[in-house]
Structure 1
Amino acid sequence: MKLHKLVFILFLSVFTLSVSAQTANELRRKKEAIERDIEQLQKSLNKTANGKKLTLQQINVINAQIRLRQDKIGTINSEIKNLDNQISQNTNTVHTLQGQLGDLKKEYAGMIRFAQRNRNSYDKMMFIFAAKDFNQAYKRIKYLQQFSQYRKKQAGYIENTQQDLNGKIKVLDRTLKAKSDLLKEQERERARLGQDKNQQSAVLNNLSKQEKTFKQDIASKKKQQAQYDRLIKAAIQRAIEEARREEARKRAAEEARLAAEAKAAAAKAKAENKPAPAAPPVAKAKTTSETLTATPETARLSDGFENNRGKLPWPVATGQITERFGMHKVDQASYTNNGVDITTAPGTPVRAVFAGKVIKVDYIQGRAVVIIMHGDYFTIYQNLRDVKVSTGSTVETKQVLGAVATTGDDAILKFQIWRGNAILNPEAWISK
């Protein structure tokens, strides 16, 4: 029973540690990805650090860097918590093994004492010959043999348990050292976060000195984005109107068919002197979503897009979100972002996040915008160059649409998701 208990404890320990190891690997990969993003943002910030003019992109990069640093600290906290669980599990296993080892040694000591008292061959022979009959004598011989074998097994159990105990103690020591290293790393990241926040404060303090220039920068950004927004809204509205016209055409044809059938049925009823049949019901007008998904193909696209919420691939293979969705206010200036800004390397390929049909490719000041329809969903890719698709073409998931154009010192993709006329937050849709 003690052996079975020991085996169960060891199995449970190995299973728990394998799960912890998997979690640790995931956390380590996440932390490494965050470190790469921070490094890339720092490179972007270094390019503009020497410029005298304060730009909105500088502020966005610093804010994104602070968010990533906070995410990294949170990941380190999760790593420490995971190690604490491992330390607790290993400590419990060590105590269990120590208790088991003590019990095994006590049992073995008792057997040694018994063997010492009965080590004489004459005593063993007398023990066998004192049997009442041959059957009992045979059983006593088997008992002595089994006792000898059990002693050897117990010695093996003690040796194996000692090895397991030594191994667990080494693992525990390594885990404690890893926790100590993580605590030091956490302190370093907190210090860097403090430096980032000081830099943020210094930049925001400079706003008062460059307030006029900065407001002009935001006004120019809003004016340019307004052009894109009008283009995007018009393209989506045109797609909706085209779907409605097609739906109206189909409905009219269906109503004409039903009217002809009703007329023929009425004529037949009159000829047979029967009451006229009831008129067929008038089809209800469809909603925008129903109109856009009227065909099986568009319905499948829409369902597929919706089922991949939170799992859609990023429109670029590498990059960091430097401006998030929604309203933004910097000092006294405010503006709204209908999507997210992803800062990446110049010339990075831009990919479709889902299969669909390109409904618009257009240019404003030499920069392209590509709009793709996925049933009643639309994805918008703004600030492109070297566009490789055209209006009316179909695309597959991760198909290259073009490359990110450089704006000033940075390559920024502006990415949006709409459902009909409703604007959605892309961060809820793309993979984490």
Structure 2
Amino acid sequence: MIQFKYKRNKLALLAMLVCSILFVSPSYSQHNSKNSKKDLESKKRKINDEIKEINSMLNETKANKKSSIGFLVNINMKLEKRQELINTINLQIQQLNRDIRKNEAESELLKASLEKLKKEYAQMIVFAQRNQDAYSVLMYIFAAESFNQAYSRLKYMQQYSEFRRKQAIEIINTQTILLAKLSELKEQKLEKNKLLGNEQVQKVQLSSEKTQQEQVLTELQKKEKELKSELEKKKEDAIQLQLEIKRLIAAEIKRKMEEAAKAEAAKALAAKKAREAKAREAKKKKEEPSKSIPDKRDDDEEKITKREKPDNPSVPELSEEAEALSTDFSNNRGKLPWPVAKGVICETYGEHEHPAIKGFMMFNNGLEICATKGTQARAVFEGEVTSIAVSPTGGKLVIIRHGEYLSVYCNLGDISVKTGQKVSVKEVIGTVMYNEEEDKTSINIQIWKGQKTMDPGGWLYNAR
């Protein structure tokens, strides 16, 4: 009996260990794996959407513009996104390889546990068959030397029967988990093969696009002198654009300061008049105390104040987009919507080399986003339109104030707002202009704080 109890305890501990491995560790790791898989799938969908958008832009390219800067920019973007897609697929394959190795190890552990359970169960069956005669069981119990020993032997037989039943259930459960694990393993291997096939397709397309890129570069480099001359002019235009934006912002800051100064002066004058009126009233009451008649001016002023400041002023309801953002512009880093509904970043903030002319450096004070023809431009945050001007680089520009911050929208065609107008989040402010010379449609979005530019990539949602 003591030997059986030791064996039973040993089996119970083994069962607990197996359960902890099967149900605790895998579930935790699977949770993390699913989260990672979900993120990679989301990223892959985003890249595929961007490639589709770039293809739409390339389809708009005229037959005689296949060697334009705009075409090269789109091809470069497509190559970058294609490589990013391949990298994402590789990450998915690596994740699957880890999951497959883990599932294979768990399957082996389950198989070993199952074999051990079956072996132990077979031994119990043999023992039960040898002692299945009711007479033998009774003889075993009545052969006890004392009542306590007889009771212990009876409990032993009952416990042995219960343990055998639980062992059978444990075998069934282990078999079920093993089958599920093997099925999952099969699905993972099929998914891996599918990803490997997709990766190969993307690599073939990448190779074809690189060949196309090289052809366009060769054509453009034949016109290097002409291009450099055009680029120098654009560089000068870009400098003039920044000077114009700075001038408009400086004028806006000056206007705000003047308005604040006027308001302060008006407030001081009103306070001075109120003090003088109060002094005159006090003097009048002192000189003619018996004939003083209550003056109703204070009551009238109070009534006027109440009319100007009603108890329950009407507050406009916030839109769904505005509610999702903080009312303070500075608290919305990485949350702002894009200035276009669909588009791809084709030029980042700061200094970078020109895509066609090696060594020729360009500087961008904003973020250039390429889109399809007819794309509408929209406000990234609620604010007030402070300036509308013709851009030195072509098209028009709109400046919107958001407290101490300003958003600037360059390269617009038609404008649908006016100076002084209040705009809400995602409200349309105009149409993005198509540049026929470069054969591309793009908007340049800039974020300013006072007279200093900031990288819009850190402000727009999912722009990095």
Deviations 1:161-219 (A, max 9, x none): 11211211221122123223323322332333233222222211112333355345535
| Equivalent position of 2:313 in the other structure | none
Alignment partner of 1:207: what SS? helix
* Structure 1 residues not aligned, in runs of 5+: 257-300
- Of the candidates 36, 54, 58, which is equivalent to residue 49 of structure 2? 36
2:373 is equivalent to residue 349 of structure 1 = no
Q: CA deviation at 1:372?
A: 1.5
Residue identity matched to 2:143: A
Deviations 1:92-131 (A, max 9, x none): 3212212321221222122122212212221111122223
2:33 is equivalent to residue 5 of structure 1 = no
Q: Is the 8 A contact 1:359 1:391 kept in 2?
A: yes
| Equivalent position of 1:373 in the other structure | 401
Range moving further from structure 2, 126-135 or 162-171: 126-135
TM-score computed with the length of structure 2 as normaliser: 0.75
| Equivalent position of 1:98 in the other structure | 111
Q: Is the 8 A contact 1:373 1:379 kept in 2?
A: yes
2:336 is equivalent to residue 312 of structure 1 = yes
| Equivalent position of 1:125 in the other structure | 138
Residue identity matched to 1:374: H
2:359 is equivalent to residue 359 of structure 1 = no
CA RMSD of aligned residues (A): 3.2
| Equivalent position of 1:338 in the other structure | 365
Q: Is the 8 A contact 1:382 1:414 kept in 2?
A: yes
- Tell me the distance in 2 between the aligned counterparts of 1:423 and 1:404: 22
Q: Is the 8 A contact 2:350 2:363 kept in 1?
A: yes
2:461 is equivalent to residue 431 of structure 1 = yes
Q: CA deviation at 1:368?
A: 3.4
The alignment of Structure 1 onto Structure 2 pairs a total of residues equal to 391
Pair 345,185 (structure 1): closer, same or farther in 2 beyond 3 Å: same
- Tell me the distance in 1 between the aligned counterparts of 2:382 and 2:60: 36
- Tell me the distance in 1 between the aligned counterparts of 2:35 and 2:335: 21
Q: Is the 8 A contact 2:379 2:428 kept in 1?
A: yes
**Matched-pair identity in %:** 38
- Tell me the distance in 1 between the aligned counterparts of 2:85 and 2:329: 30
- Tell me the distance in 1 between the aligned counterparts of 2:336 and 2:191: 35
- Tell me the distance in 1 between the aligned counterparts of 2:206 and 2:215: 14
Residue identity matched to 1:77: N
Alignment partner of 1:362: what SS? strand
Larger radius of gyration: 2
* Structure 2 residues not aligned, in runs of 5+: 1-12, 270-324
| Equivalent position of 1:395 in the other structure | 423
Q: CA deviation at 1:157?
A: 1.0
Alignment partner of 1:378: what SS? strand
- Tell me the distance in 1 between the aligned counterparts of 2:20 and 2:423: 55
- Tell me the distance in 1 between the aligned counterparts of 2:16 and 2:66: 73
Structure 2 counterparts to residues 322-337 of structure 1, below 5 A = 322-327=346-351, 328-329=353-354, 330-331=356-357, 333-337=360-364
Pair 373,144 (structure 1): closer, same or farther in 2 beyond 3 Å: same
